[in-house]
Amino acid sequence: MKIIMSSIEKLYKWSRLNSLWPLTYATSCCGIEMMSVSASNYDIARFGSEVFRGSPRQADLLIVAGTLTLKMSPILLRLYEQMAEPKYVIAMGACACSGGMYRNSSYSVVKGVDTIIPVDIYLPMCPPKPESLIDALIKLRKKLNDKNPGGRFV
């Protein structure tokens, strides 16, 4: 019988690394690209997250895809606060990262999701390809593997 000795911290880190459960917050064209990541061509299930969650209480990764307006920002903040710790955020698309093409022409567009909630990974394309979202997930997993439990990314 083989006995595997490991610290609780390593087991905890491994379990978080292999079970990211994303919550969708898709408001525009980036949402279509995000949905295609769960299709068989890209298969997000290999990261341990088979289904996008519909409830913030079941998710630990918030993917903000698309334009965020001032009217919707309190709702996004409430969703973020309802997520269990530790929680991570990916800002997907130029509109989520900086306001995008609506930054100067619309008063109602938030000039970046990071003004509302802390963002861990930025994905600033318009719209980002599914491969780039998978790359962002790989980078997030690398950060999770490198950092200490608890605390934000630097």
**pTM score, two decimals?**
0.80
Q: Residues 119, 79, 66, 98: is their CA dihedral positive or negative? A: negative
Determine what percent of the chain falls in helix, strand and coil, rounding each to the nearest 5.
40, 15, 45
Q: Which class would CATH give 8-145? A: alpha beta
- Where exactly are the structural domains of the chain? 8-145
Distance, in Å, from the CA atom of 142 to the CA atom of 140, rounded to the nearest integer, reads 5
Q: What is the pLDDT of residue 41?
A: 75
22's CB contacts (< 8 A; 6+ apart) are 44, 49, 52, 53, 59, 61, 62, 63
List, run by run, the mean pLDDT of 10-residue segments along the chain (154 residues): 61 71 80 79 71 79 87 91 88 85 81 90 86 86 70 44
Distance, in Å, from the CA atom of 105 to the CA atom of 85, rounded to the nearest integer, reads 36
Length of the chain counted residue by residue: 154
Q: What is the pLDDT of residue 154?
A: 38
Q: Which two tokens stand for residue 35?
A: 């949905």
